Structure 1
Amino acid sequence: MPIAHPILSTDESLDFERTLLPGREQQWTAMNNAGRAVGRAVLQDFGELAEVPSRLRVLALVGKGHNGGDALLAADEILKRHSGAEVHLLLRADKKELRSLTRRAFDELLKSSRASLCNELTYRQEAYDIALDGLLGMQFRPPLKSDLADLLAEVNARRGIRFRAAVDLPSGLGDADAFQADFTYATGIAKSPLFDPAHADKCGRIRYLDIGFFQLPYEGPRSFAENILPDAALQSQGGLRPPRCDKRTFGHLFVLSGSRSFPGALLMSVKAALSSGVGLLTAFAPESLAAQYAAAVPEAMWVPWPETPEGGLALEGWHLLRERLSRADAVLCGSGIGREPETLQLVRDLVREVELPLVIDADALQPETALAAASRPASAGGVVLTPHMGEFMRLAGRQSAEYSREALVDFCQKHRVVTALKGPHTRVCDGSQVALSTRGGPVLARGGSGDMLAGLMGGLVAQQPRAPFEPACRAVLWHGLAADHLARTRGQIAVHTTELLEHFGPALREA
């Protein structure tokens, strides 16, 4: 199965679904899978806001098309999974006007005594925990009709709705009064309008719900040349390990990072790398810190490295790395390393001379580092860079912080690197393909989350050193899933970055 699935335009999605689901029963099965996946995901994601209340009140906004059917089945799934839930349905069409599968979903939901119809007058008098938007589908073209625009504007403004969830696309997307989603659940296919920066405020967080459309590689037309990582891309990481193995089976990562000025970054990277399942880890630490780090994380092998007067890694320590290189499968460098000229020279020498796969992070991400990567021999291992947008602007000499696929691909081709460009949607590019992850979210908007990602990525690259693109993708996805798990457990605010460590295991088991 492909590691990432295509992002398609709405027209391409319609054509693909017609080909994939030619019969009514196939369409009904897909609608059930989609709607029920939305219901399950909404209950999970509500946990980022608060505990699901014992008396959960849901408003379903239902149009006559298949998005309405998805919303109805999502509401039915919520009722099945939460004994205290009740659903109010606000239909925008008579039952006889509903498309046949939507009418079938409507009849399925109304078998429950906890689902009932309401009108616009009665819904205004109620408060709801969740609003499910299934009014309009991907065939909508702006502008909205005035009555629907008024309804959506009112729903958006209502303070009595705690959590707003859109099915597939927010209704009216492209219109000023489009549904304002906290989360949008892309069912089966991730549609390109979700990733238009102009729509970011309306779409909220994006969840891709894989319902099996891309078991085989997609060979249809593509107008949006990016892909999305499904949670299933992590499944190969979480299977049973071979019974006949030892610590050398799972790679040996070297970590060259840290300074007296940023002592925590190295420690976070090492702890995250150990959580990746790597078999062995050797960490080269500033000599003033190595002993206390060894006591804090005894699973790693700690090598004291000479320091500059300011506390950075000094060039004179080169021999410590060189004499051990034959034991390593990959090297991670950069977290907390600082910007001293001597230390940055050490980074450039590392990139030029060490032919193992490299993961380069944080202050090691300098234009000179990228140029050194471009000059590596073809036989050398791959180089993975992990910039956020500010660092990417520095690396690529760009003035604009606006994402550009063309700029990312061009940079990766020119410097012969894999780049994991961190952001609300982290994108991994190897110069020919771009795979993005929407996992993670605001809980990662805190210091140290990048150090954790770098460690996790270094550990995965050491386990699969010949092809760094896929382990880089899996690291990004795993990091994001762990952040989601943390946020659903503890909320987005009162958490520490290092708490991610406790959620790598549960996230992997759930993927």
Structure 2
Amino acid sequence: MNTPPLHAHPVLSADEAKRFEAALFGGDEAKEWAAMNLAGAAIGAAVITDFEEIGGFPKDTARVLVLAGKGHNGGDALLAAKFILERFTAAQAEVLLAFGERALKPLALRAYEALVHAAPGRVRRVRKALGHYALSIDGVFGFQFHPPVDARTATLFAEVNALPIRLRAAVDLPSGLGTVDVMRADFSYATGIVKAPLIDPANAASVGRVRYLDLGFFEGEHTASSAPSVADFVLTSAVLAPLRELRSPRSDKRTYGHLFVVGGSKSFPGAVLMSVLAALKTGAGLVTAFVPESLAAAYAAQVPEAMWVGWPETPEGGLALEGAHLLRERISRASVLLIGPGLSREAETLALAMDIVKTATVPLVLDADALQPEIVRAGKAPRILTPHAGEFARIAGRRALKDFPSEAGEARGGEVVTVLKGPVTRICAGGCVAHSFFGGPVLARGGSGDLLAGIIGGLLGGNSGELLESACRGVVWHGLAADALARERGQVAVRTTELLEFLPPTLRG
């Protein structure tokens, strides 16, 4: 059995989810109705929150299109609309029952009646969706859908996909997923359980961004007997819980680790500075940075909290082999070593990185230009690798991303955790993959990875070398801060380093 990361919930196939829910609810309609209300409220609240990235849900008259099928997904969509209309009293809902009112199952019908009762005069049935909508909520098919989509429903999906809609929400997963007739979503809200099709890269264009809405299905003694053994998990924000607790009154700066950072060059001077800034924000006790000597004084003036060690430079401005003694003389003080941000790919500098990794005895974080095939396999120190897709392809040779995570584990000399950055960041260790849905397009800019490397390095130093826990915690914290940044300032007109301002409030809830 695969051991999941802390505070992660399993990703289940459709059949596994069906069996799990059958055991959870036991056919009890009262329990199912309670869960449907939880799901509807969670979707409604999440939609309102996600609207903040594009200026917030309209406070004046807003048209909401609800597409409901026969069953629970339709009920969830209708109750999500109820939640939204109760909070925005100028909003109006147009309900399109894809298979008619008579086809509604009892709980879906109950949800429809609850919506109509909650917003009298603001809900109307329509047979065709026309015009501009602020929001569409897709609840036509659930995870038990089997292709193909019938011709009439396929036409409906095509018509809705062509409409101008500011935000397209899918309940659980987009209707028709896995077919050419899929309903397109900007956000897919996984209610209670993340189903496997949502994490399939082949479905990414239709799924949009995934939000996991934890409804408490994986709490209590029921989980131990009913949750199947799986390889894929979804991370929750609860991974940050230890950072939200009081620190020991008997602690000092050595309690929280001493991170060494090796990086920087004249060609890429900003990357290492961003990593150091991020590491300091994690609460690291001490940070020492080894950077080209021409940059050290300027960095020290900007960030006096770190200790800056000037390193002899190559003619091109990278770190020279002759400076290796500077690290050797101090390495006994380090608890973690981060190598790579802004390092450059000069042959001499990469040879230096190889020598450092070969002899390292403390945990490593390898990022950016340190992610070379021969370097990531050198030595025996435990390590975290933080590649994006291109860097992963480089260290994995000819093997493709479809081989992740099995091939990621080969790129090592000792224990390894691989953090594959992307729209959904995946953390691999020991055959398990933890998926983080936090973050988003606001991270699609230079420097995001440098901040993440610094966050992970800082956390690892204060976490007794717990690689997987530190990697998961760093990815989630980084992603939650990015979400907060986008909601406060939008996705476009921001700078990468503004994310650092949102690390503290993210911890404070």
TM-score range, shorter chain: over 0.9
Q: Distance in 1 between matches of 2:254 and 2:90?
A: 52
How far is the alpha carbon of 1:48 from its aligned partner?
2.1
Q: Secondary structure at the match of 2:46?
A: helix
1:387 corresponds in structure 2 to: 387
AA aligned to 1:88 is E
AA aligned to 1:493 is V
Aligned equivalent of 1:366, options 349, 355, 372 = 372
AA aligned to 1:393 is A
Q: Secondary structure at the match of 1:278?
A: coil
**1:216-237 deviation per Cα after TM superposition (whole angstroms, max 9, x unaligned):** 5656575862111122222332
Which shifted more, 96-105 or 492-501?
96-105
Structure 1 position 100 matched with structure 2 position 109: no
Are the equivalent residues in 2 in contact too, given 1:192–1:224 (CA < 8 A)? no
Which shifted more, 174-183 or 239-248?
239-248
Aligned equivalent of 1:182, options 186, 191, 207 = 186
Structure 1 position 166 matched with structure 2 position 173: no
Structure 1 position 117 matched with structure 2 position 124: yes
Q: 1:328 to 1:414 in 2, by over 3 A?
A: closer
AA aligned to 1:386 is T
Q: Secondary structure at the match of 2:211?
A: strand
AA aligned to 1:343 is T
Structure 1 position 130 matched with structure 2 position 129: no
Percent identity reads 55
Are the equivalent residues in 1 in contact too, given 2:376–2:413 (CA < 8 A)? no
**1:406-428 deviation per Cα after TM superposition (whole angstroms, max 9, x unaligned):** 54354257764211111122111
Q: Distance in 1 between matches of 2:113 and 2:242?
A: 40
Q: 1:10 to 1:90 in 2, by over 3 A?
A: same
Q: Secondary structure at the match of 2:260?
A: strand
Number of equivalenced pairs: 500
Aligned equivalent of 2:309, options 303, 312, 315 = 303
**1:226-277 deviation per Cα after TM superposition (whole angstroms, max 9, x unaligned):** 1111222223322332333322222221111111111100111011111112
Structure 1 position 145 matched with structure 2 position 150: yes
Q: Distance in 2 between matches of 1:81 and 1:505?
A: 29
**1:153-202 deviation per Cα after TM superposition (whole angstroms, max 9, x unaligned):** 1000112x111100001111122121100110111111011122222211
Q: Secondary structure at the match of 2:95?
A: strand
Q: Which runs of 5+ in 1 are unaligned?
A: none
Equivalences for 1:42-441 in 2 at 5 Å? 42-55=47-60, 56-111=62-117, 112-113=119-120, 115-121=122-128, 123-124=129-130, 126-159=131-164, 161-215=165-219, 225-372=231-378, 375-376=379-380, 380=381, 382-400=382-400, 402-411=401-410, 416-441=415-440
Q: Distance in 2 between matches of 1:255 and 1:114?
A: 62
AA aligned to 2:389 is M
Q: 1:15 to 1:403 in 2, by over 3 A?
A: same
Q: 1:453 to 1:114 in 2, by over 3 A?
A: farther
**1:18-68 deviation per Cα after TM superposition (whole angstroms, max 9, x unaligned):** 111222222222212211111111111122233322123211111120001
Q: Distance in 1 between matches of 2:229 and 2:413?
A: 24
1:458 corresponds in structure 2 to: 457
Q: Distance in 1 between matches of 2:259 and 2:102?
A: 64
Q: Secondary structure at the match of 2:288?
A: strand
Structure 1 position 3 matched with structure 2 position 7: yes
- TM-score, normalising length: structure 2: 0.93
Are the equivalent residues in 2 in contact too, given 1:89–1:115 (CA < 8 A)? no
1:35 corresponds in structure 2 to: 40
AA aligned to 1:344 is L
AA aligned to 1:151 is L
Which shifted more, 206-215 or 11-20?
206-215
Q: 1:464 to 1:223 in 2, by over 3 A?
A: closer
Q: Secondary structure at the match of 1:289?
A: helix
How far is the alpha carbon of 1:93 from its aligned partner?
4.3
Q: 1:46 to 1:114 in 2, by over 3 A?
A: farther
How far is the alpha carbon of 1:3 from its aligned partner?
2.4
Q: Which runs of 5+ in 2 are unaligned?
A: none
Aligned equivalent of 1:16, options 16, 20, 31 = 20
1:25 corresponds in structure 2 to: 30
Are the equivalent residues in 2 in contact too, given 1:85–1:114 (CA < 8 A)? no
